[in-house]
A and B are shown apart, each in its own frame.
Chain A
Amino acid sequence: NAGVTQTPKFQVLKTGQSMTLQCAQDMNHNSMYWYRQDPGMGLRLIYYSASEGTTDKGEVPNGYNVSRLNKREFSLRLESAAPSQTSVYFCASSEVSRVFSNQPQHFGDGTRLSIL
């Protein structure tokens, strides 16, 4: 099994450009998440989807939109990229939809995004 697959792995954008990061999981998990990781800041939750058809804001949602396309796929969109959004973005999934904290999350290997 591939687990959680993120595309692309690397991307360079110019300020103001738009971009969609793709994420797919093959574990039949209900919940999916988008994080960003910056040096010294750990991982911060951007958006999550507890189940197909629902999405909610996390800690740092400004400047981002998400779409839970189906149970497998959860995309993250930057409508007008800014240098402050330069980061490594991780997608994750977990089995349980109701109780976030009680099941492990499975992560992809990240998308490294640079915005000039």
Chain B
Amino acid sequence: GENVEQHPSTLSVQEGDSAVIKCTYSDSASNYFPWYKQELGKGPQLIIDIRSNVGEKKDQRIAVTLNKTAKHFSLHITETQPEDSAVYFCPRNDYKLSFGAGTTVTVRA
């Protein structure tokens, strides 16, 4: 089955700096790569996703890049703001493994 590793598990950045979270996957047949954000007290919410026929996708301050050769995809947040503090997930494609523990991002004012 699919194995996805997410790093780092925690990330603290100064407001205005950039944050990068990386996920490495094992199944070369994977073709859909989503990122979810979970704010305190809320359910996870899809913030951006990419399919395997695209190398990069941007939406305002967030972007996802995909490297199919190296089998990893990354979430980039630029000009971080306090509201970016949350847990970010790249869920495994194999539903039986569900979501991992994610990356806890803290933006320091």
Report which A residues bind B (CB closer than 8 A).
4, 35, 40-45, 48, 58-59, 90, 92, 100-110
Contacts and interface: CB of A to CB of B under 8 A. Distances in A.
A43 B43 CA distance: 10
B49 A104 contact: yes
| A contact patch SS | mixed
Contacts, number: 57
Given A42-B101, A104-B34, A104-B49, A48 B95 contact: yes
Contacts of A106: 46
Nearest to A110: B43
Interface of B: 2, 30-32, 34, 41-46, 49, 89, 93-102
Contacts of A102: 31-32
B93 A101 contact: yes
A105 B98 CA distance: 12
